[in-house]
Chains A and B, each alone.
Chain A
Amino acid sequence: MSDMSVLSHEYKTASELSQHISTALILLKKVYYHLPGEEAVTPEELDRHRHALATILTTLVSLLTVPRPQQATSALSVSIPETLVMRLQAERRGDLIYYLDDLAGVAERLREQPIPLDERDLALLDQLATVADAEASSVYRRLMRI
């Protein structure tokens, strides 16, 4: 097979991850800041997205913490592109321990009810959404040869 098949696989993973994070973050912000449209967010929808986001964060912490190959993908509950992990490792080289601590804290708070997030947590999630967006866009451009 050509590289196309591999890229198609990579793009699907990166795109779905980015979409999950951005969509969940929009809902969380609507509720936290009481934005217009907040009333349309159902508790079930919010629950589904915050739990999914918490799982993504926990998985990411695990991938960034445990050196490979002790952490094999088959044991993980969500797919996170290896390149995104590497991107975060490079970007956060100076403060990785604190970053992991922050991610784990947000994941924990996302599982609580009511959600005790603060602006700092949302900013952290925004940074992650930006990295996931960049990763998806990068694979997309390779797939489409742009």
Chain B
Amino acid sequence: MEQFLRGLLRDLEHHNVVLRDRLAAIPADPDVRAHAMKAYKEVECIRREVVQLLHDPSLGLPILLPNHLQVYKRWSERVSVIESYPFLFVERYALSDRHLTRLCQRLTSQIGWPLPPPLVAAFSNQYYWTMPEFNIICAPAAEGTTLLGLPDLCHELGHILHLAQWDVLVGNFLRELASYILLEQRRVATEQRPTEYRSLYTSLFTQWEGTWLLEFVADMVATYLVGPAFGWQHVRLCASNSSAAYHPTLGERADHPADEARLRGIVAVLAEMGEADVGARITSLWNSYLDASREIRPQDYEVCYPQTLLESLAKEIIAGCRSLGVRGFDQPCGDPAHRLPSLLAEAWERFLANSQTYSDWERSQIEALWQELDVETA
């Protein structure tokens, strides 16, 4: 095994050299330069660590073999992740990617984004996703031809901001969440409910803390940035590919919180920012959608997503964004004709008012947008 591990390390070093050289050979392009450089540096850094280990006289000692193997695995995984994600983004950067990247650059400059603009690729087979540590976002292939889905780009920006500014955005919310769960667990005892409920609440807490909070924060940041357009898009997305709106409820597990609760989180941000009326319109459409979908609220659902917690989180997110100098949809700046949050808001209002004439208007707006952003159209 010692010799095999040595071979694996040499192979990994060679692989890093190949990736490094291909990253170095990518033509200079201001859109991808920073991301290519970051990937290059990391690949080269791992290569040097591999070489250092190959020269380490302790390599091959049986007592260190398990630990060296673990370290090798982490390096190999990391290189594989770089090769599979940021490397592809920069080496295969294409016109459709440039559209969304430039759009995102403009958006981030308009909203006072406190971080470098992300690189956006348009080849996702899993709807929108992001890898915040690499500052990359992936979107479906045709997203550059529509305005209605673009608010979801802001949801991914929310994940990136969350990773960089966790403390500022979430503040004391986890303590408030913990207090709520403890209170509910006490009620299990005082109201003589089945004792199994205690562990269900513990599981509820870990899901909130582990992944649900990530989603609520990203939703709320997106709503802060583009306002009602994100709420309308949430209903559109749920109608097109949602699972049950009330899943997960108490005792169920899922990486994402229930769509119904996410909508209430969005509406809570709108209300806090003075747009309760449009929040009510979105809720009305949502309720109609639920009726039409024959969705039934399960027992114990409310305790998973109490309104007070969602409202409290909404206040934290808005305060956090304001303290970071990020401009909300209620703080427009610059020429209104060129403001992307305003364009997305108008797109949704026009779509809701008259979907028949909408597509012609959308096409003309998108063509004008690409011209402004100096991106040729396909």
List chain A positions with a Cβ less than 8 A from chain B: 1-6, 8-12, 15, 18-19, 22-23, 25-26, 29-30, 33, 35-37, 40, 67-70, 72-75, 82, 126, 129-130, 133, 136-137, 140, 143-144
Contact = CB atoms under 8 A, between A and B. Distances in A.
A5 B57 contact: no
B178 to A, nearest CB: 4
A141 B280 CA distance: 43
Contacts of A29: 63-64, 67
A26 B68 contact: yes
B127 A1 contact: yes
B66 A4 contact: no
Question: What are the 9 A-B residue pairs with the smallest beta carbon separation, nearest first?
Answer: A36-B57, A2-B126, A4-B129, A69-B178, A69-B205, A22-B70, A37-B58, A74-B174, A2-B129
Interface of B: 56-58, 61, 63-64, 66-68, 70-71, 73-74, 77-78, 80-81, 84, 124, 126-133, 138, 152, 155-156, 159, 163, 170, 172, 174-175, 177-178, 181-182, 202, 205-206, 209-211, 214-215, 218, 255-256
A114 to B, nearest CB: 20
Given A136-B74, A144-B84, A5 B130 contact: yes
B206 A68 contact: yes
Contacts of B64: 26, 29-30, 35
12 contacts: A1-B218, A2-B124, A4-B126, A8-B129, A9-B214, A11-B81, A36-B57, A36-B61, A70-B182, A73-B174, A136-B77, A137-B73
Given A2-B126, A6-B214, A136-B73, 4 more contacts: A1-B152, A1-B159, A26-B71, A70-B178
A9 B182 contact: no
Contacts of B67: 22, 25-26, 29, 126, 129
A8 B132 contact: yes
A72 B163 CA distance: 18
Contacts, number: 130
Nearest to B162: A9
Contacts of B156: 1, 5
Contacts of B178: 69-70, 72
A5 B57 CA distance: 40
Nearest to A2: B126
A129 B73 contact: no
A69 B70 contact: no
Contact of B57 (A23, A37, A137): A37
B219 to A, nearest CB: 10
A25 to B, nearest CB: 5
Contact of B130 (A8, A75, A126, A143): A8
How would you classify the secondary structure of chain B's contact residues: helix, strand, loop or mixed?
A: helix
A33 B64 CA distance: 11
B78 A15 contact: yes
A72 B71 contact: no
Contacts of B129: 1-2, 4-5, 8
B130 A35 contact: no
A60 B270 CA distance: 39
B171 to A, nearest CB: 9
A95 to B, nearest CB: 21
Nearest to B136: A8
Contacts of B170: 74
A82 to B, nearest CB: 5
Contact of A19 (B61, B74, B210, B218): B74
Contacts of A33: 63
A12 B162 CA distance: 14
A32 B255 CA distance: 43
A72 B209 contact: yes
Given A3-B255, A36-B57, A15 B74 contact: yes
Nearest to B124: A2
A6 B74 contact: no
Contacts of B68: 26
A68 B184 CA distance: 13
A33 B62 CA distance: 12
Given A29-B64, A35-B64, A143-B81, A69 B182 contact: yes
Contact of A1 (B63, B130, B205): B130
B61 A35 contact: yes
Given A8-B130, A73-B209, A68 B74 contact: no
The winner among A5, A6, A26, A35 for most chain B CB atoms within 10 A is: A5
A140 B181 CA distance: 31
Contacts of A35: 58, 61, 63-64
A79 B209 CA distance: 12
B130 A68 contact: no
B159 A72 contact: no
A27 B159 CA distance: 36
Contacts of A73: 174, 209
